[in-house]
A = this chain, B = another copy of it.
Amino acid sequence: MLIPQLVSEGLLTEPNSAKGRLLAASAALFKQKGFSRTTVRDIAAEVGILSGSIFHHFANKESILRTIMLEAIYLVLARMKLTIADLDSCEDKMRALLRCELEAIHGLNGIGFTLLSAEWRFLSDESQSEILKLRGEYEAFHRNIYTEAKSLGHINVEPFFIRHFVRGALIETANWYHLHGDLPLEGLVEQIYLTTAVKW
């Protein structure tokens, strides 16, 4: 599996440890009520400890959010590279990346990824720039595929714009698309693929 490997590399927290459970519970609450409306007492109650005990694991409340976000990017980055590794055609890669990002947005790798765009502003300046760097790597990965697609004639709008538009469209799906609904994930991938990346 991918997760145990990332844990052993020190990028992810062991999910079954006390700290890991704290992260999972916090992420769930942050998604449900937002960071600022979630109190450390809420988090503690969710895992069955007292609020003060949280600060044995984290320096402060913000560093919980920071850790959740960092690990979410580590995971999605690793998953992206793994998915693409054994694909040759550019079209397949584009679809795979669309699917990969949609899975992350809809919580199939944990709920941390959703928080990245929603609770961004609650991080300190230092944490923000720390994550910004990883996000740059993530975005470059996507943009590179579109650059390749453009050179092959699969799209004819600048990769810069395509990527920005696609990212917005995908993020917005969190507000209207439901897994387990009528439309399977593959169908959603195909719809946005047709809309943005078809040669004409």
Which residues of A pack against B, CB within 8 Å? 33-34, 36-37, 121-122, 157-158, 161-162, 164-173, 176-177, 191-192, 194-196, 198, 200
Contacts and interface: CB of A to CB of B under 8 A. Distances in A.
A90 B177 CA distance: 28
A191 B122 CA distance: 32
Contact of A164 (B37, B121, B169): B169
Contacts of A172: 164-165, 167-169, 171-172
Contacts of A33: 121
Residue in A36, A171, A172, A196 with the greatest tally of chain B CB atoms within 10 Å: A172
Contact of A173 (B164, B166, B177, B196): B164
A167 B174 CA distance: 12
19 contacts: A33-B121, A34-B36, A34-B122, A36-B36, A37-B122, A157-B195, A158-B191, A164-B172, A164-B177, A165-B169, A165-B191, A165-B195, A165-B196, A167-B172, A168-B171, A168-B173, A196-B196, A198-B200, A200-B200
Given A34-B36, A165-B165, A167-B172, 6 more contacts: A157-B191, A161-B191, A164-B173, A164-B177, A169-B172, A195-B196
A189 to B, nearest CB: 12
Given A36-B37, A200-B200, A192 B173 contact: no
Nearest to A157: B195
A102 to B, nearest CB: 12
Nearest to A177: B164
Contacts of A194: 157
Residue in A162, A165, A166, A167 with the greatest tally of chain B CB atoms within 10 Å: A165
Nearest to A196: B195
